[in-house]
Structure formats: structure tokens, C-alpha cells
Amino acid sequence: MTETHRQDEAPTSDPPTSPAPTPAETSTTTTNEAPAPGGAPAERVAYQTGGLRLVLLVLGGLVVGLLGSWWLLGMILGIGLMIFLHELGHFVTAKWSGMKVTQFFIGFGPRIWSFQRGETEYGVKVLPVGAYVRVIGMNNLDEVDPADEARTYRQQSFPKRLLVVSAGSLAHFAQAFVLLVVLLGVVGVPGGSLTRAPSAGAAGFDITSVSADSPAREAGLRQGDRIVAVDGEDASRFDDLPAAISAHDVGDTVELTVKRAGDTRTLAATLGPRPEGIGGTPGSTFLGVVSRAFYPDKSLGVGGAIVAAPGETARFLGQSVTALAGVFSPNGLGDMTDNVTNARSDRAARDSGEQPSAATSDREQHRLLSIVGVVRLGAQIGEQEGPALLLLLFFEMNIFIGLFNMLPLPPLDGGHAAVAVYERVRSRPGRRYHADFTKLLPLTYAVVMGLVVLFVATLYLDFVNPLSLNG
């Protein structure tokens, strides 16, 4: 997130998503300040105090790992690195473009620790809900020293401005690309693809595992069984069983024709509701068998993964755009509102062992997670599933954040990009057009308020009715 403020005004307190600095930021320490007791310059005392706060922050992280979970600490550090690389993209491109960058901070609110190098102050703040790089002269409301005007964002060429504001999302897409290469080339994924369904295969459904406490287990299905028919209808291809099961309702009884060790037998299974956290739509019809016979984990090798990753990333981006549009559609926002309204009753029903209804499962598909929910879920994934699925989670997070950040709305980076494009269209040879940001302030405030509401709503959901791999 690139940010700016009027240098001749006292900055005001800001919510986590607001670009304005907090009262703790209203001045930077300088060597000509009045000396502190003992004769030490005020700057040195401030930095020593900041260093102590940094040590306390590190110790707090170690406590989280020792008393909580090392996976939890790993998630926090992983998200911190992801945010850092986002801002590093803005910082490096702004410096390369000749712009003046005065601050590079991780977090918002009061400083925990900072230091000055050249014209830029680097540091960490108390609220770990984002980060920012402060580039001078982002718009016509940002007053700067006339001597620095040539180094403002607004005076740079259109390609440089567009590069700087897009660099954060580009950094996320670069991270996603690297993670995808590792997943495809080293770890291996089912069928060697995240976006394409594996081949159906020519034989029936070979069971490689049966879920505990599932209808399949109660019916007597075992690992190694091959299901070849459902209710007497041929199921000779791999896709036939999932299609037949999804055509039934929860509570229906189906007859499964099974081949076992050369013998053919018929077993009856009463379908149940799909538990949460195992893939698919919670509450949908569920049998409880898994087959990896036709789509085993396949590693493409690093070279093959590099070749496949661009197409995989492009397809996943398309799927993510569709999903994001669904979340922010009228129906998606309505479902989000219902999730918040029914959070306590949904949690009570889950705690009592009641399976969610189809309507509840459908509306929870449009649920977003706060940073708290993501950290908690990621720690569970690490503990229960291992690092492979955690890499997949970070891949998906980078794609989502990269897309969301480029929505053409101020104060998101996509809003700055949209303004840059508009200014380019309105400009004429020899006459540079600069947008009047006072006209955008109402929209900016509305978007900020919307982001605050979204942040509070997702945080409320993640505390009252947290998602879990265990349902």
C-alpha cells in the first residue's frame, strides 16, 4: 500500500486500513532535539527504547511458539514476510523511478521500533494488519517541499507511476508463481494440476481409503474395493460414483455393487451429510470413500513446473476472479450478512453436533476470513496436514490479495492505478493532466468505511464461529 499525507498538517489517528499516520507518527526524531537526561540526544534515547520494544516483540513470538504452536508462529511470520515483500515491491520500484520514499513500516499505529537510513525511516508498528510505504506527492493534496517536487510520484511518467502502484500485487503474483513451482515440481499435487480435473479413467472407483464414522464404513466398504455400479446402474468410469451420489439426498439408501478380491457383492449404504473441513460442500450428500487410483500426487520436476506454472496461474486467476465477484455480488454480501447475524446460532448448532443445513452450507461459501482466522486455520493445516497444504494456502492467499488490492477503488493500489490511467487519457501533448483528489475523497472515505466494516465482520465471525478443519 503506497501512502501519503499533507506535510503541513498534523496527521490524525487512523483505523488499520487507513493511510493516515497515527499521533505517534506526527514527528520523527532528529539529532538536534533537546538532549535527554544524562546528555544523550533524544534520538538515541528513542531508538534505544524502540530496540527494547523490538526485543520484547521477539520474545513474545518465542512465547507463542513455546506455549502455543510453532505452526502458529510460522503462520504469523509467513504472513509478515508476504506483507513485507508486497511493500518491498512498492519501495524498490519507487526508488528505481527516482521517487522520494520517506517511510517503510510493517504494521499500523504507534511505533514499536524504527531506524533512519538516508531519507527513509524503516520500522515496525503495533497493529500487524498491514504495512505501507510512504511516497511523497501521491496526489494534488500532498504538499511537499518545492525542492522535492521533481521526485514526487505525481511528476513521474505514466509507466513509472503504474509500475509503482502495481508492484505490490505483482510481488504477490511472483510469490504465488514460486510457491506453485514448488508445489508442482517438488511436492506434487493430484494429477499434476491445481486447476484441471484429472482424467476420469476407464475403470471403476478403486477405494484407497474409507473415512472413519462414515456411511461407507458402516456399509462395510473397505480399502481395495472397486465400486462398479450404483443402484444397478453402471459406474464403470471413475466419475460415475460422485455423480450418482450427488444425485441423491442425505438419508437416501443406495445399493453399491462392489468387486472385492475377485468376488462381486452388493452393499447398502445410507448417505449422510458431508462434514466440514474435508473438501466439498458441507452438508451435501456424503458416502466417505476416497480414490487416488487415477490421480495420484504427481511431481512434474522443477523444469516441468516452470513450464506449467504460467498456464496454471492464469487459470487459477480466472477462477479467483469469478469467486471474488461472487463474494461481493448482492447474493454474496447478503450471505455474508446472514453469516454474521447467525454466527452464534451456527456455532451452537455445530457444538451440539448438528450438521449444517444445505442453506447454511451455501451461504458459508461466501465467507471471508480475517487475518486471525487465516492464522488459526493455517496453523491447523500445518499441524494436521503438513507443509504441503500450507504452501497451497499461501499460494491462494497471494492470488486473492493480489487481485483484491488491484480493485479500481481508492485507497487501494488499484484505485491509484485507475487514476493514473485516467490522467493519461486526459493528458495532451505538452499539457499534463492531474486529477483533483478532493473529488475522490467521498468515494475514498466510503471505501475505507466498507473495508473497516468488512474487517470487523470477519474478525467477529472468526472469534464467534471460527472455521476449523475438524468442523
pLDDT in tens, 232-271: 888 877 677 888 888 888 899 999 998 888 788 999 999 9
pLDDT at 454: 92
> pLDDT band at residue 383, thresholds of 50, 70 and 90?
confident
pLDDT at 50: 63
pLDDT at 119: 93
pLDDT in tens, 347-377: 887 777 676 666 777 777 778 888 888 988 8
Arithmetic mean of pLDDT over the chain: 81
pTM summary value:
0.71
pLDDT at 66: 63
The position carrying cell 486526459 is 426
For the chain, the helix, strand and coil percentages under 3-state DSSP, each to the nearest 5:
50, 15, 35
Neighbours of 67 (CB within 10 A): 7
For every residue of 149-194, DSSP letters joined together read GGGSGGGS-HHHHHHHHHHHHHHHHHHHHHHHHHIIIII-EETT-S
Q: What is the mean pLDDT of residues 449-457?
A: 93
Q: How far is it, in rounded angstroms, from Cα 129 to Cα 136?
A: 23
pLDDT in tens, 327-337: 888 988 898 99
CA atoms lying within 13 Å on the CB side of residue 24: 16
> pLDDT band at residue 69, thresholds of 50, 70 and 90?
confident
pLDDT in tens, 197-224: 555 444 567 787 888 888 989 999 888 8
Q: How far is it, in rounded angstroms, from Cα 402 to Cα 368?
A: 15
For every residue of 396-461, DSSP letters joined together read HHHHHHHHHHTSS-TTSHHHHHHHHHHHHHH-BTTB-----GGGTHHHHHHHHHHHHHHHHHHHHH
pLDDT in tens, 120-156: 999 988 877 788 999 999 988 889 999 999 999 999 9
82 has a pLDDT exceeding 70: yes
Say if residues 110 and 123 touch (Cβ distance below 8 Å). Answer: no
450 has a pLDDT exceeding 70: yes
83 has a pLDDT exceeding 50: yes
Please give the sequence-ordered ranges of beta strands (E in DSSP) within 231-274, or none if there are none. 233-234, 253-260, 263-270, 272-273
